[in-house]
Amino acid sequence: EVQILQTISRKLNNSHWTIAQDSCGKAEWNKTTSRLIQSNVTCNCSFENRNVCHVTNIQLKGYNLTGVLPTELANLTHLVELDLSRNYINGTIPESLARLPNLRILSLLANRLSGPIPPQIANIDTLEELVLEDNLLGGPLPPNLGNSKSLKRLLLSANNFTGVIPDTFGYLKNLTDFRIDGSQLSGKIPEFIGNWTSITRLDLQGTSME
């Protein structure tokens, strides 16, 4: 995984990381379940009787990262959180991210991403937060996102999405936060929103919905 991180760092033009083979096992770190490589990468070292570490969290917010999202991210299969908010990453969201079986938080807020949301993202059964606000994403919302039963926060504001909110979103019973304001959605505000009994924040303004 060290080589994977080095490749990701290089492709995103990240000058802040210094990653070595023993980054998760340095003696000065407390030998707890979670250790920090720097201030933004967390390893879980509880595997195989605490002899093996895996990267579980990556937070690189506001690091002036550029380039496209590396497909190598999908090889970090123990990743629980990927937060690359407030950078300058462009291109599309790779379908390969759907191969992260433990991912709970995916935040790509405030980048320059374009294209549609890959429908394969809905295959991540563990996904609880999908934060894609303030990008250049467009096209219709993928109906199979409604199969993401674990989703609690779905933040899609300030993009160029078109069409309507799919009926399948009515299955997202665990949503607490849904934001789609500032997009080009149209049609009627779905009645099923009234069945989102856990919702605490709902932003629909700035659309053409009625």
Separation CA 17–CA 59 (nearest Å)? 12
Does residue 188 form part of some domain? yes
- 9-55 pLDDT, tens digit each: 888 887 766 655 445 544 333 333 344 333 478 888 777 666 678 88
- Residue 88: C-alpha distances to residues 31, 62, 94, 98, 161 (Å): 35, 9, 16, 22, 20
* pLDDT at position 14: 79
How far is residue 169's CA from residue 159's CA, in Å, rounded to a whole number? Answer: 18
Whether the CB-CB separation of 61 and 12 falls below 8 Å is answered with no
pTM exceeds cut of 0.75:
yes
> Does 184 fall in a domain?
yes
Residue 104 lies in a domain: yes
How many folded domains does the chain comprise?
A: 1
Instruction: Read off the pLDDT band of 208 (50, 70, 90).
Output: confident
Residue 37: the pLDDT is 37
Token pair in block for residue 11? 């492709």
CATH classification at residue 117: 3.80.10.10
Establish if 210 belongs to a structural domain.
no
Which residues, in sequence order, are CB contacts of 107 under 8 Å at separation 6+? 82, 83, 84, 85, 129, 131
Beta strands across the sheet bearing 105-107: 34-36, 41-46, 52-59, 81-83, 105-107, 129-131, 153-155, 177-179, 201-203
Task: Measure the CA–CA gap between 188 and 106, rounded to whole angstroms.
Answer: 29
Q: Taking Cα atoms as reference points, which of 192, 188, 156 lies closest to residue 173? A: 192
Is 106 inside a domain boundary?
yes
Domain that holds residue 198: 58-203
- Whether 131 maps to a domain, the answer reads yes
Helix ranges, the chain (H) = 2-11, 47-50
Residues 6+ apart with CB under 8 A from 188: 164, 209, 210
Exposure string over 14-33, b if 16+ CB within 10 A, otherwise e: beebebeeebbeeeeeeeee
158 within some domain: yes
In a domain, 138, yes or no: yes
pLDDT tens per residue, range 60-97? 888 889 999 999 999 999 999 999 999 999 999 999 99
For 140-182, how does the pLDDT look when each residue is reduced to its tens digit (9 = 90+)?
A: 999 999 999 999 999 999 999 999 999 999 999 999 999 999 9
Q: Which residues on adjacent β-strands are paired with residue 61?
A: none
CB atoms closer than 10 angstroms to residue 199: 17
